[in-house]
Structure 1
Amino acid sequence: MNPPRRWLLKAASVAALFAAFPASAQPYPSRPVTMIVPASAGGPTDAIARVMSERMTANLGGTVLVDNVAGAAGSIGVGKVARSAPDGYTLGIGQWSHYVLNGATYALQYDLLADFAPVALIVTGPLLIVSRKDLPANNLSELVAWLKANPDKATAGTGGIGTPGHISGIFFQRMTGTSFQFVPYRGTAPALRDLLAGQIDIMLDQASNVLPQLNAGAIKGFAVTAKERLASAPQVPTVAEAGLPDLLVSVWHGLWAPKGTPTDIIAKLNAAVVKSLGEAATKEKLAALGQDIPPADQLTPQALGAWQKAEIEKWWPIVKEAGIKAE
């Protein structure tokens, strides 16, 4: 016996209704979220991303996967985020270089402010001014004096043109009236190896990269570019204590989504970040990487947007005045 026509029409109407709104009935997230790291595995940004993805998986209620998309100082990975669907399933974690400095050194195919929706500032990490073990200076004042006595002879290793170590090195030169040669490497790991071998003289590098060698006594540490000493390296004075109070540099990390991502999804992602950063285990892991967690009022999407804009206004003129361009 065939079903009545009225029943068939009703069934068709219900089916059409569900077909018209397939996503709205599904809570977010209903499938894995990808967090793009615009750097290779094993580096500082990757290490922070691994900590956050693990805790956000627990606090977001869905799996957060890490995808390393390296190349062109991070601009390839950040570009992939910009071109992704604004549905909350592709996020970008990155640092000062990726979401600020690259805009001054690369001809980007995206706008660092207009094409992204800020989610949250995650951590701030100062740099450490370090040198080879046998360099004849024992504090920052002596290092500056030695550099002035040897103009253009000293060498500073960096992770490449336009990277944090390079830009902060130029900032250091401007503040101290010194002049030395920059030696670009394919990342800070090989630069650190040459510093250990005595092939280069100094580096300004992220704490997470140099702390093991510094605490082992294999290199010298002169100052940390922050207002407070690092808990993981309390023997190293701040730049203010060392005589250069304005040499404040932070390689901070944040989380972004593509422009147009719904505000309720941004709010849910932000809540997962904030909850993760409030956990004792997360704090311990990030502290071991030389990272500081910002105060609660700096963890909002609006705060990240304002901070990123302020950093662009501060650093782009410095980069452009130095004539730094990606090769």
Structure 2
Amino acid sequence: MPIVRALALVAGVIAIVPSAIVPSASAQSFPSRPVTFVVPFAPGGSTDTVARIVAQAASGPLGVPTVVENRTGGAGVVGWSAVARANPDGQTLLTLEMSYTIAAGLIPTLPFDAKKGFVQVTTAVENPHVMVVNPNLPAKTVAELIALLKANPGKYFFGSGGNGTNTHMGGELFKSLAGVDLVHVPYRGAGAVLQDLVAGQVQVLVTSLPTALPLIQSGQLRPLMVAGATRSPVLPDVPSAPEAGLPGMVMTFWVGFAAPAGTPAPIVERLNKDILAGLALPETRKRLAELGMDPVGNTPAQAQALIDSEIARWSAIAKAADIKMQ
């Protein structure tokens, strides 16, 4: 759904929502029913998978069942807006990831304040991005790739899951740091770009590690760099961004959770405590590690600081590359 249509839909829904807000639950009575984790994307992706693992793990400490609800549309706008207008009683949480902080700098007409529309609960997990190429590309290191691109400006392509996505911003960040002319080809989602990358229609992709890992392990994609400060345990032979000569390429994919603005502090603290308790379970950590995800479990203040810094970073990169949402 185009962003303009999505915003119109959201505006229409907001217009029919009663202005009266149901009183928020008290900390003593929370949670009074199942807690819903809203994912603003379709089932099956990295964000959805993490949300389901964390929601299941948090159910025990919370003492109530948890439900994962996928509210898709508008590149995340529909889901974000649904939680922004939800009752601030802690019963509805938003699953956040980096596309939210990218969109905050690209969509001036969001129907809520990107920095104040939610209160952060925690950043649950993180993992680095990875730069992968088609195995037929005659470049086995980042240095060789940069040399190839500089010798052939405008002749090679990097794919993305769409304008303004993490894959788009990762490619633009690489172009800026390496000083290369690499043509952007946007797709409709990660599945389509991965398919064409394997087929050789595009040659380069910067994406989250869990997204590319199965194709790396099967030999269908070649990893050149883990876009992290250090190497990843699941790809111990692949150099980190500093080792590859691009320390500014450190780019973390993260997933966190937030509640609607106005949610009482005691409820936010309870949510934080119980989600962190779920993250600490050995089975949870094992499932996340298999995806290449590292548990974080920080405080609400630390999660908010991440949101603020990410919005500032991606806004600057989007402005420099003249990226606009379509």
Instruction: Provide TM-score, normalisation by structure 1.
Output: 0.89
Residue 230 of structure 2 corresponds to residue 231 of structure 1 = no
Cα distance, 1:279 vs structure 2: 1.4
User: Which of 130, 143, 146 is 1:144 aligned to?
Assistant: 146
Residue 214 of structure 2, aligned match among 204, 212, 215? 212
Q: Distance in 1 between matches of 2:235 and 2:288?
A: 14
| 2:130 alignment counterpart | 128
Matched residue of 1:147: which SS?
Answer: helix
Percent of pairs with identical residues = 38
In structure 2, C-alpha distance between the alignment counterparts of 1:30 and 1:109, rounded to whole Å = 29
Q: Which residues of structure 1 form unaligned runs of 5+?
A: 1-20
- Counterpart pick for 2:268 among 266, 269, 275: 266
- Give the drift of 1:23: 5.7
Q: Contact 1:215/1:233 (CA < 8 Å) preserved in 2?
A: no
Residues 58-99 of structure 1: CA deviation (Å, up to 9, x unaligned)? 12111111111122221211111111110111110120112x
Give the structure 2 partner of residue 16 of structure 1: none
CA contact (8 A) 2:24 2:263 kept: no
Partners of 2:229 and 2:249 lie apart in 1 by 10
1 CA distance for matches of 2:127 and 2:27? 41
Please say if residues 157 and 183 of structure 1, whose CA atoms lie closer than 8 Å, have aligned partners that are also in contact: yes
Query: Per-residue displacement from partner, 1:225-272 (whole Å, max 9, x unpaired)?
Result: 111211112121101111112211112111000000011111110001
In the alignment of these two chains, the number of paired residues is 303
Q: Which residue of 1 aligns with 2:17?
A: none
Q: In the alignment, what sits opposite 1:307?
A: 306
SS of 1:130's equivalent in the other structure is strand
**Shift of the alpha carbon at 1:108?**
0.8
Report the AA paired with residue 244 of structure 2.
A
- Matching residue of 2:74: 72
Answer with 33-42 or 68-77: which moved more: 68-77
Q: Which residue of 2 is the match for residue 197 of structure 1?
A: 199
Matched, 1:27 2:29: yes
* Counterpart residue number, 1:317: 316
Q: Structure 1: which amino acid aligns with 2:180? A: T
- Could you tell me which residue of structure 1 aligns to residue 106 of structure 2? 105
Cα distance in 1 for residues equivalent to 2:24 and 2:131: 54
Question: What's the TM-score once normalised by structure 2's chain length?
Answer: 0.90
Runs of 4+ in structure 1 off by over 2 angstroms are 21-27
Compared CA separation, residues 270 and 22, structure 1 to 2 (3 A): closer
- 8 Å contact kept, 1:97–1:251: no
Q: Is the 8 A contact 1:189 1:209 kept in 2?
A: no
Deviation (angstroms), 1:27: 2.4
Write out per-residue CA displacement over residues 108-132 of structure 1, whole angstroms, 9 at most, x where no aligned residue: 1111111111100111121110011
Q: Root-mean-square deviation (CA), in Å?
A: 1.6
Deviation at 1:321, TM superposition (A): 2.4
Distance 1:22 1:219, change over 3 A: closer
Contact 1:88–1:261 (CA<8 Å) still a contact in 2?
yes
Conserved 8 A contact 2:130-2:226: yes
Superposed counterparts of 1:289-300, under 5 Å: 289-294=291-296, 299-300=298-299
* Separation in structure 1 between the aligned mates of residue 262 and residue 43 of structure 2, nearest angstrom: 29
User: Contact 2:129–2:227 (CA<8 Å) still a contact in 1?
Assistant: yes
Secondary structure of the structure 1 residue equivalent to 2:159: strand
Q: Is there any run of 5+ residues in structure 2 with no aligned partner, and where?
A: 1-22
Match in the other structure for 2:288: 286
Aligned to 2:278: 276
